[in-house]
Amino acid sequence: MSTRTPKQAVVFMLAFLLLMEWLVPLPAVTDTGFIHIFMIVAAIYFLIMFLQLPNWLTLLLMSGVTLYGLHHIFFHEPFLGAAWWQVVADEFVVNYQLLMNGAFIEVTDFFRSLMLLILLAIMSYLMYFWVIYVQRIFFFLALTVVYVAVMDTFTAYDATGAMVRIVLLGFTLLALLKAYRLTASAAPGERGALLFRWSLGAFVIVAAAVLAGTAAPKAEPQWPDPVPFIESAAGIEGGGGGPGVQRIGYSTEDSRLGGGFEMDDSPVFQAEVEHTEYWRGESLNHYTGHGWEENRTVEEQPDYTLYEDEVDTEAGTAEVQFAENVSYDPWFYPGEFQQVLNSSGEQAEADGFTGELRTQGGGSAPPSYTLGYETASFPIERMQEVTTNESDPAHVTEQFTQVPDTLPDRVADLAEELTEDYDNRYDQARAVEDYLTGQEFVYDTENIPVPGENEDYVDQFLFESQRGYCDNFSTSMAVLLRTLDIPTRWVKGFTPGEEVDYTTETTTREVRNDNAHSWVEVYFPEVGWVPFEPTPGFSDSFSYVYEESGESEEEWEPSEPETPEFPEEDEEEEETEEEDTAEAAGESGGFNWWQPALAALILAGGLIYFRRNLVKLWMRRRYQSPGRGAGFVRSYESLLRLLHLLGWKRGPHETLREYAVRMDEILETDSLRTLTEHYERQFYGRKADEGMPDHIAEAWRDVVGRAGA
């Protein structure tokens, strides 16, 4: 068995960690599971390769580890038993036939996993060859960066943390390999010091670069995501609402909800508006148990009005400009649509069932258009007066209280439990909204399950996963209220978007694909369709007001508010002031985390720059006097240990006198021989000098001074 050094172990371990960055993205872009098993098996491969065992033993151990890894993932039969070998043999026969027939994509998961493990075993050999023998790793590092960058760009994998790890691992590995090559050609007595200086300096530089790159302000990406551009150029329509991992955006298909999605911040349109409102696409009324569909249950198309005449409204104008290569059929609009003001001569009409605004005669929405709209302030007192559904129009009740017969009873039971303390429709709606935005549920866009054929989408979310995004929360609120015979509908569109410019009268907002959203509307007689926001983390722009005072309701209180004690109010005000002060300090460039990190780096750099002077000063103070008798013996032995730490190691069969002669040649003096002879007299003669001879003290200072230099 070959002897390996700790230095080789360090670089080989770093190479292993670098290789693992190739495995981390696999679960995000493929159906690969048990990724931790592949990593553990790869680690064992690297250990076996590092030990450099005989070839037959290496092959035997790697084969055993491979088989056990496959057993852990796929098999329930006893390991290496007769039944186990039969299953393995069947797998090989089936996959051999598939390969011979050219059906490469149909090979089984067992065979794919076997090929991946064999590839990892080969990589362990290649990494050993590159790192230990050739001592070069730049080509593999460059491939790793390209691979991870491609994964980040074209898949759901987020490589933000991976790139930081790769830079740290890769450049540290490059620095260490360079240091090893330099020390191999250096004089034996200088190798330790050279390795220490090179490694420490390289590590400080890499750490400083990573910290600076993380903390420093960064410009927005010039091409945030090329995928939407490529899809647009190729004529591929984005969106989608089917199960599995999707790309976020306005969906045209909502009959099958569920599954996670990857973010997409590419722009959809810019709009100059007078109010901050959600952008409406369309509403759907029929819940299937898996998603939403349009169901026209009445013969005559009703007028699609949101607000009743008794509600106070405010008119506004929206000028919309779609982004380049972006086209949608619906005209997106805030509030309630009134009329088209300018669209290059094209006109639009709103569908009476869905509210979707479409071009008359068909076709996509124009690249730019201007339309008039109205926003409303919803009177809380009048909404709280609605205690039954007797005043609801017949067509509203028929279309917007439907739930499937397969809806589990526990959904309706939960709705009853949440609203049992409230006798009016408004408080019942706010109670359900408050429950969904509470601590029981988590907003997440990844790893969201897709309900099975016999599972209900709402039931699965409310009682099993309790994790999801806007579609989960909005659909759940709509269905919960429908079980109470409260008319609701599911609305989809966009949130207001990000403000990019403003004037005293208008604001210009940029709406991106990741602003795609869904929410709920509840019907109130004499008020109209009132929007609610049940998704955690989303701040709605809806206005609920008290008619008597004209004040807005900032936050719904589930019970009558109690008059707080004055000391508690004072404490809350103090806490708020402290929080505001802290936020202001952060916004004005206060003391952030990167400042002490930068100070530490400057201090470390100063210590490295002045290390020679500091070492000299420390050695002069620590080894100022050698002492007498037994004290000199201890001081001399301490000096030998110091020389060892500085890189001048004494050979295993080298006598003290031989070591002293060699060191005197390195230090260009004869003082260590003088000290060695004096040490031998003190150690073996066991006779202490009455005083320290001047030539011994001079020799001591000479050795300490030269070693420190």
pLDDT at site 271? 92
Rounded CA-CA distance 512/249 in Å is: 8
Q: Classify residue 463 by its DSSP letter.
A: I
Question: Per-residue confidence at 7, pLDDT binned at 50, 70, 90?
Answer: confident
Average pLDDT of the segment spanning 93-98: 85
Tell me the average pLDDT of the chain.
80
Average pLDDT of the segment spanning 392-421: 92
Closest to 334 in 3D by CA, of 516, 494, 100, 102: 494
pLDDT at site 30? 73
Dihedral Cα 70, 74, 76, 82, nearest 10 deg: -60
Q: Classify residue 669 by its DSSP letter.
A: S
- Domain layout of the chain by residue ranges: 6-134, 266-545, 621-708
pLDDT at site 581? 43
pLDDT at site 553? 63
Biggest distance spanned by C-alpha atoms of the chain: 122
Maximum average pLDDT range among 167-171, 391-395, 407-411 = 407-411
pLDDT at site 483? 95
Could you report the per-residue pLDDT of 270-301, keeping only the tens digit for each? 999 998 899 999 999 899 999 999 887 666 66
Rounded CA-CA distance 199/190 in Å is: 14
Q: Indicate if the pLDDT at residue 577 is higher than 80.
A: no
Q: Cβ contacts of residue 605 below 8 Å, gap of 6+?
A: 204, 208
From the CA atom positions of the chain, what is the Rg in Å?
37
Beta carbons of 585 and 592 less than 8 angstroms apart: no
> 3-state class of 261 per DSSP?
strand
Least confident of 136-145, 168-177, 586-595, 615-624: 586-595
Least confident of 37-46, 229-238, 401-410, 654-663: 229-238
Which element (helix H / strand E) includes 176? Answer: helix 160-184
pLDDT at site 231? 53
Q: Which residues of 482-507 are buried (b: 16+ CB within 10 A; e: fewer)?
A: bbbebbbbbbbbbbbbeeeeeeeebb
Q: Cβ contacts of residue 619 below 8 Å, gap of 6+?
A: 642, 704, 705, 707, 708
Who has greater pLDDT, 93 or 604?
Answer: 93
Who has greater pLDDT, 220 or 384?
Answer: 384
The domain 266-545 having CATH identifier 3.10.620.30: the answer here is yes
Rounded CA-CA distance 159/266 in Å is: 18
How many residues are there in the chain? Answer: 709
- Helix, strand counts (H, E) of the chain: 23, 20
Least confident of 185-194, 426-435, 553-562: 553-562
Q: Indicate if the pLDDT at residue 654 is higher than 50.
A: yes
Question: Per-residue confidence at 403, pLDDT binned at 50, 70, 90?
Answer: very high
Least confident of 369-378, 397-406, 578-587: 578-587
pLDDT at site 373? 92
Q: Which residues pair with 315 in a beta bridge?
A: 374
Rounded CA-CA distance 585/518 in Å is: 36
pLDDT at site 237? 45
Rounded CA-CA distance 285/298 in Å is: 12
